[in-house]
DNA sequence: GTAACTGCAAAATATTTGCATCCTT
DNA sequence: AAGGATGCAAATATTTTGCAGTTAC
């Protein structure tokens, strides 16, 4: 698995470094759960500089490895892109779910964002959907 | 119109003060365009303390007068609730549009968020949709 | 060896809190 | 008059930038 991480990084023309491997592993290990900057700092075990985490996250977003999730409370969270988005073009069109109770944020890969028709003064490129509710763990 | 503002405030059990009237007027005047904290500071004409703006916005959100808009870049923007949401319960189910070019964020009242079916481990309460694209002004 | 990445310090930005004063009711 | 709202100062949190040292290729 640690090798898979190397492959992903190289596939994206990124040099393989300790922080990138570790952070990417955290995303893979979180299985669809979105991670905030603070989660990464915590789970990485106090290893990396805050700045490195910021920069790594930005690099991953630019490369299309992870995407940020729009939430109403404007907490900044990221999750893995499933369909290898390339170079800043994200095509993840799955729905996100935010649990009102435990604040967990998950990608729901099985559900795609439905199409909507907009008034013609708006030329849509892509749509995102966030469903808020309560997850099984909190019921 | 300035009277309408008074009415809205009183209807929400808020005392009618200068900053609240002015900020509410800005939202009404923006006609669906979302406003960020900085927009308000600017448009209000340097009149109010930053802190007052933060507090006023929070109060309006709590009362259901405005709602925040979830965006991918996590910019914090607010827009008027149309269907008088009450006491922290927002029912705005319209789609939001974000222009990739001018960064304008608008509520599209004509279009409602479609329903989606989620796996049963998620109990949905409400859904939000943000469409990104280019608006007429930028084409 | 070179270009890219990291860590540290510090700057810039954003948000929150406490408290004294002022305004609305 | 009383409670709530505001402004100011300051604390806290978040993100960005510059630069020197280190690492990947």
Q: Which of B74, B125, B133 sits opposite A124 (nearest CB)?
A: B133
What is the predicted pLDDT for the residue at A83?
A: 67
Residue A135 contacts B where some CB pair is shorter than 8 Å:
yes
Q: Which residues in 21-80 of chain B line strand C, with CB less than 7 A from it? A: 37-38, 50-51, 54-55, 58, 76
- Contact at 8 Å (CB) between A92 and A111? no
- A16: nt with nearest C1' to CA: D24
For residue A2, is pLDDT > 70?
A: no
> At residue B134, what are phi and psi to the nearest 5 degrees?
-130, 135
CA distances for B114 relative to A109, A116, B123, angstroms:
18, 8, 16
Give per-residue pLDDT as tens, B78-103: 999 976 555 556 667 899 999 999 98
Percentage of residues in chain B having pLDDT higher than 70 = 91
Between residues B17 and A83, the one the model is more confident about? B17
Please identify which residue in the block is written with the tokens 């409400």.
Answer: B126
- Least confident stretch, A3-7, A87-91, B7-11, B36-40: A87-91
- Contact at 8 Å (CB) between B33 and B79? yes
Reported as a pLDDT band with limits 50, 70 and 90, residue A90 is: low
Interior angle at CA B40, CA B39 and CA B43, nearest 5: 80
What is the predicted pLDDT for the residue at A108?
A: 94
**Which protein residue's Cα is closest to nucleotide D8 at C1'?**
B49
What is the predicted pLDDT for the residue at B14?
A: 97
Percentage of residues in chain A having pLDDT higher than 90 = 75
Mean pLDDT (whole number) for B103-127: 94
DSSP state letters, B87-108:
TTB----EEEEEETTT--EEEE
Reported as a pLDDT band with limits 50, 70 and 90, residue B5 is: very high
- A47: nt with nearest C1' to CA: C7
Write out the two tokens for A52: 């490195």
What is the predicted pLDDT for the residue at B112?
A: 93
Between residues B2 and A44, the one the model is more confident about? A44
Mean pLDDT (whole number) for B43-56: 92
Reduce the DSSP state of residue B8 to 3 states and report it.
helix
CA nearest B104 in A: which residue? A122
For residue B53, is pLDDT > 80?
A: yes
Q: How far apart are CA A123 and CA B132, in angstroms?
A: 8
Give per-residue pLDDT as tens, A22-80: 999 999 999 889 999 999 999 998 789 999 999 999 999 999 999 999 998 889 999 99
- Exposure pattern of A61-90 as b/e (b: 16+ CB <10 Å)? bebbbbbbbbbbeebbbbbbbeeebeeeeb
Write out the two tokens for A6: 């190397």
For residue A87, is pLDDT > 60?
A: no
Q: How far apart are CA A77 and CA A99, in angstroms?
A: 13
Mean pLDDT (whole number) for B39-48: 89
For residue A122, is pLDDT > 60?
A: yes
What is the predicted pLDDT for the residue at A128?
A: 92
For residue B2, is pLDDT > 60?
A: no
């Amino acid at each position: 698995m640690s090798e898979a991480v190397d492959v992903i990084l190289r596939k994206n023309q990124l040099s393989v470094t300790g922080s990138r491997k570790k952070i990417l592993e955290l995303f893979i290990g979180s299985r669809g759960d979105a991670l905030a900057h603070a989660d990464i700092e915590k789970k990485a075990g106090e290893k990396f500089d805050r700045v490195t985490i910021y920069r790594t996250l930005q690099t991953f977003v630019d490369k299309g490895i992870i995407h940020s999730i729009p939430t109403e409370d404007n907490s900044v969270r990221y999750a893995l892109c499933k369909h290898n988005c390339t170079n800043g073009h994200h095509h993840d069109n799955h729905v996100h779910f935010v649990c009102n109770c435990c604040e967990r944020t998950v990608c729901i890969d099985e559900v795609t964002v439905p199409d909507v028709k907009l008034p013609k003064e708006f030329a849509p490129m892509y749509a995102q959907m966030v469903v808020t509710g309560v997850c099984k763990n909190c019921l």
